[in-house]
Structure 1
């Protein structure tokens, strides 16, 4: 549970935190992880907004949130359905809405988002100015922020760490992509190796062959 809470709050490995950014069924919870996870959901929303254009649909935003934990995943290159993110969002759309609607309403109230209509598929416009960009960037956990800032968050002269400032929206988006791809790539390699060792060579090979076949079909079907 300590490892879970640490990853949710800091994105140290961005594995468990990535899982909890999507709808899951929690079976055992001694730490009230749903409350802890609110920090993770807000950070995921901020990261997805930084990767979104000035106007987007609610579904587009959920797809961006869902895709965060697949950036840099080696399996997405050859062993996963290319439409995996789209299918996850379509199959769990109302669950995504239940998770993220309070945060979207909060950002609307703060003036970061403008909701054109909120029916079955809301359409949003966001403020892409530098002030809003730095606000969203500051909502990300400290570990990815530190890595985006080259490992140094700086100091205000009194020994208190300060948040790095971003000079443009494009810089912020590129930082998010670079750091998350690196984290997800490392996690996906560890998971693949663990699965291979746990299942054994022959079982792992058969599983991989099935995944690759499914991935190939998704890329050849129009």
Structure 2
């Protein structure tokens, strides 16, 4: 276990955890973020263990059952299962589920869900959207609403052109198991992970998910996505905070501006429930990334006196971050491109920077160099000026809201078309029931 080999260092008087991965640069090699990925297989990753923090473990039989479900679909490039049907968001003893939605699921699914039973959510990424839907309509036309009768060209257009680029089919039974699955274009997923165009897809991967089919370029893009989530959360947090505050802030990013949260269509304690019941998986997902950053530290000695502290789900360790303007400016500069530009535009209005001067600043801050490679992302004068502003957390929150709100709203309305009125109404009613829970 990584934690059993933790080393202690002191930065600015605070104790920080340094994993063997950080010390030997095995999982996070220096400057890996500045190298544009164009990988054909996993042997070209920065290191053989690179990104394995993303591979959250589950019961092997449960994983095989999930993969068995995916084998009923046309070939895909990348897929993961997520949500409360995969990783619990409440105690089994307090679950209000009175019956299982599954007709005749594999025994492994019943055991993993401890008999209660919840619909399992999947995200399927394909490089050829229309081809996938053409094959899938031939196999499973009953999965689709009336849009399916209009053909794969219409279905793929609705998927790619509106909202966040996802096409959901809910309340589908495959291998006796009730599922909801979304189809996304591979490039749409990769772009959202890298640039945070909508945070709709990237936000789902901020939380523990079960990756079932992998692709090396997505693994690299998601590692950037996870590290960006840590940086963004740190810009929202005060100098000292708890571990759960950090993970709650990360989890909450993709919910800011989401109409489901604003209009009571989600459990009011959803974020807290996710973090509380998945704290160990959050640690496995983020610990190495946290320790790779020079400006955040663990403060509690028990992180080092207890070799198995990551397994202690009752522990909520204290953390701190360096508020130095230069270091925070570097974090601003390393935010995903689309999201960073929204933050820049907010400060352009605040500082009343003329359009031509601002455009020159944007050109200087481009991630790509003249030859198409990635430039080393070091904060410039504008980034440091932003980092020194007291309203930075508020501005970052506004940028998140701007990123999430419109795509999530359109995606919600699109669900009426893709799911069909009956299934869409059923889904809305179930969400409203969750919203009424305390």
Given the two structures, how large is their TM-score scaled by the length of structure 2? 0.46
Which of 330, 334, 341 is the aligned partner of 1:135? 330
Q: Is the 8 A contact 2:203 2:254 kept in 1?
A: yes
Which of 214, 220, 226 is the aligned partner of 1:41? 226
The Cα offsets for residues 32-53 of structure 1, whole Å up to 9 and x where unpaired, read as 5222211111110001011111
Q: 1:175 aligned to 2:395?
A: yes
Which of 71, 83, 90 is the aligned partner of 2:269? 83
Q: Is the 8 A contact 2:240 2:321 kept in 1?
A: yes
Query: Which contiguous aligned blocks of 4+ residues in structure 1 show a shift greater than 6 angstroms?
Result: none
Unaligned stretches of 5+ in structure 2?
1-185, 304-308, 310-314, 349-357, 367-379
The 3-state SS of whatever aligns with 1:26 is strand
Structure 2 counterparts to residues 62-81 of structure 1, below 5 A: 62-77=247-262, 78-81=264-267
Q: 1:3 aligned to 2:3?
A: no
Compare the two structures and name the one with the higher strand fraction. Answer: 2
Structure 2 counterparts to residues 120-131 of structure 1, below 5 A: 120-131=315-326
Which of 286, 297, 300 is the aligned partner of 1:114? 297
Q: Is the 8 A contact 1:130 1:167 kept in 2?
A: yes
Using the TM superposition, give the Cα deviation of residue 207 of structure 1 relative to its aligned residue in structure 2, in angstroms: 2.4
Partner of 2:239: 54
The Cα offsets for residues 6-43 of structure 1, whole Å up to 9 and x where unpaired, read as 11111112111111111111222233522221111111
Q: Is the 8 A contact 2:298 2:318 kept in 1?
A: yes
Using the TM superposition, give the Cα deviation of residue 81 of structure 1 relative to its aligned residue in structure 2, in angstroms: 0.6
Q: Aligned in 2, Cα 1:167/1:55: closer, same or farther, shift over 3 Å? A: closer
Q: Is the 8 A contact 1:115 1:123 kept in 2?
A: yes
Given the two structures, how large is their TM-score scaled by the length of structure 1? 0.87
Structure 2 counterparts to residues 155-166 of structure 1, below 5 A: 155=361, 160-161=364-365, 164-165=382-383, 166=386
How many residue pairs end up in the alignment? 213
Greater alpha carbon shift after TM alignment, 20-29 vs 146-155: 146-155
Q: Is the 8 A contact 2:192 2:198 kept in 1?
A: yes
Q: 1:102 aligned to 2:288?
A: yes
Partner of 2:340: 145
Using the TM superposition, give the Cα deviation of residue 57 of structure 1 relative to its aligned residue in structure 2, in angstroms: 1.2
Q: Is the 8 A contact 1:153 1:161 kept in 2?
A: no
Compare the two structures and name the one with the higher helix fraction. Answer: 1
Q: Is the 8 A contact 1:50 1:173 kept in 2?
A: yes
Partner of 1:13: 198
Which of 197, 209, 213 is the aligned partner of 2:429? 209
The structure with the larger Rg is 2
The 3-state SS of whatever aligns with 1:149 is helix
Distance in structure 2 (CA, Å) of the matches to 1:97 and 1:171: 29
Q: Is the 8 A contact 1:133 1:172 kept in 2?
A: no
Unaligned stretches of 5+ in structure 1?
none
Distance in structure 2 (CA, Å) of the matches to 1:167 and 1:60: 21
Using the TM superposition, give the Cα deviation of residue 153 of structure 1 relative to its aligned residue in structure 2, in angstroms: 6.3
Greater relative contact order, per chain length (Cα 8 Å cut-off, separation 6+) = 1
The alignment's C-alpha RMSD in Å is 2.1
